[in-house]
């Protein structure tokens, strides 16, 4: 197992560099300029800004400078090179006098809390609905739950979010329609209140509830056909205990496989939900960066998202071996 983890970590480095290389050239080849929005700038002002951010240099030099920052090397205005054990994504173009690292530190806890809340809700509701549907297979309850899961998959977040706002905020006044209230603030760590977290987490988790419910149902139905389930029934075990203690654990492997990319997607920020509910997370900053051609902020969030996805996939492989001892990583 240790050798497997070390090999995966060694493969992650060139993969992240490849993702960053593709993202760098795609961003730089996109039409437009971060200084071409709004009113036109005087030529000398625009030239000074390009020199400040290094856009006046050839593209290959910009690439080398960017990759050097990823490796931890940075050069100040006096030309002195320093190294620190973490990537430096530079200064944001839109948010003046703010570094991309600080923006990620500020917005990441918000996205993490929202993503974890949505995932836990999806996990509990999805596994519960899938197990119930499998135990009542081919009944009206099974068909109703699977119909609900199809609706959850088909209904996009930008439709579900406003519907929930209309129902729970503008009609019954249970939750605020947007914005964030903080229950705790400690440096960069900010925890939203449950009242402001409820609707975004529900909107974000709905599709994942549907996917997990269908994966769980299919897995439990397949497990219930196995010989060891017949043995358990012959011993006189109740159907509830058979499903929960025997069939469910074996059926969780597809859910674990799905959870890796899902967690990475949820934690690194969801563009639509954070925009609909005005949540200041990574997704909302990414939209602002794309609209304003904030190259360094785009690349910083892209790098963090790629790293999170690879770490989540590695965690999934390890969990596979824990849940099913028959799986071995050689």
Count of C-beta atoms within a 10 Å radius of residue 183: 12
Comparison of pLDDT for 209 and 257, the residue scoring more: 209
pTM of the predicted protein model: 0.79
Model confidence at 76, pLDDT cuts 50, 70, 90, reads low
CB 137 within 8 A of CB 219: no
Query: What range defines the domain where residue 320 resides?
Result: 1-330
d(Cα 326, Cα 105) in Å, to the nearest integer? Answer: 40
Nearest partner of 203 among 283, 258, 142, 138, judged by Cα: 283
Give the pLDDT score at 246. Answer: 65
d(Cα 159, Cα 156) in Å, to the nearest integer? Answer: 6
Domain holding 149: CATH number? 1.10.3720.10
Mean pLDDT of 159-167: 90
Q: How many domains does the chain have?
A: 1
Is the pLDDT at 100 greater than 80? The verdict is yes
Mean pLDDT of 255-261: 78
Give the pLDDT score at 324. Answer: 61
Give the pLDDT score at 77. Answer: 61
Nearest partner of 213 among 137, 275, 122, 138, judged by Cα: 122
CB 90 within 8 A of CB 264: no
* Averaged pLDDT of the chain: 80
Is the pLDDT at 327 greater than 60? The verdict is no
């Amino acid at each position: 197992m240790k050798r497997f983890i070390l090999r995966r970590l060694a493969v992650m480095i060139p993969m992240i560099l490849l993702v960053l290389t593709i993202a760098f050239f795609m961003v730089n080849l996109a039409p437009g300029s971060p200084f071409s929005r709004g009113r036109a700038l005087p030529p000398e002002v625009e030239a000074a800004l390009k020199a400040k951010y290094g856009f006046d240099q050839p593209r290959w030099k910009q690439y080398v400078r960017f990759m050097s920052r990823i490796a931890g090397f940075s050069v100040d205005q006096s030309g002195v090179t320093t190294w620190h054990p973490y990537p430096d994504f530079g200064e944001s173009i839109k948010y003046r006098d703010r570094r991309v690292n600080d923006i990620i530190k500020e917005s990441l806890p918000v996205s993490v809390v929202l993503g974890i809340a949505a995932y836990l809700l999806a996990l509990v509701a999805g596994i519960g609905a899938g197990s119930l549907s499998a135990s009542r297979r081919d009944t009206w309850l099974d068909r109703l739950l699977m119909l609900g899961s199809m609706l959850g998959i088909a209904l996009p977040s930008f439709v579900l979010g406003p519907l929930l706002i209309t129902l729970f905020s503008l009609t019954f006044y249970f939750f605020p329609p947007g914005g964030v209230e903080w229950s705790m603030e400690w440096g960069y760590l900010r925890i939203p209140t449950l009242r402001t977290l409820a609707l975004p987490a529900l909107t974000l988790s709905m599709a994942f509830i549907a996917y997990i419910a269908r994966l769980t149902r299919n897995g439990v139905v397949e497990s219930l056909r196995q010989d060891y389930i017949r043995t358990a029934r012959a011993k006189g075990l109740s159907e509830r205990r058979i499903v929960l203690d025997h069939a469910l654990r074996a059926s969780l492997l597809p859910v674990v496989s799905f959870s890796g990319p899902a967690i990475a997607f949820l934690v690194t920020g969801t563009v639509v939900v954070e925009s609909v509910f005005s949540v200041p997370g990574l997704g909302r900053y990414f939209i602002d960066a794309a609209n304003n051609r904030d190259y360094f902020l785009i690349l910083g969030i892209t790098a963090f998202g790629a790293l999170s996805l690879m770490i989540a996939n590695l965690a999934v492989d390890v969990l596979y071996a824990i849940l099913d001892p028959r799986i071995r990583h050689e």
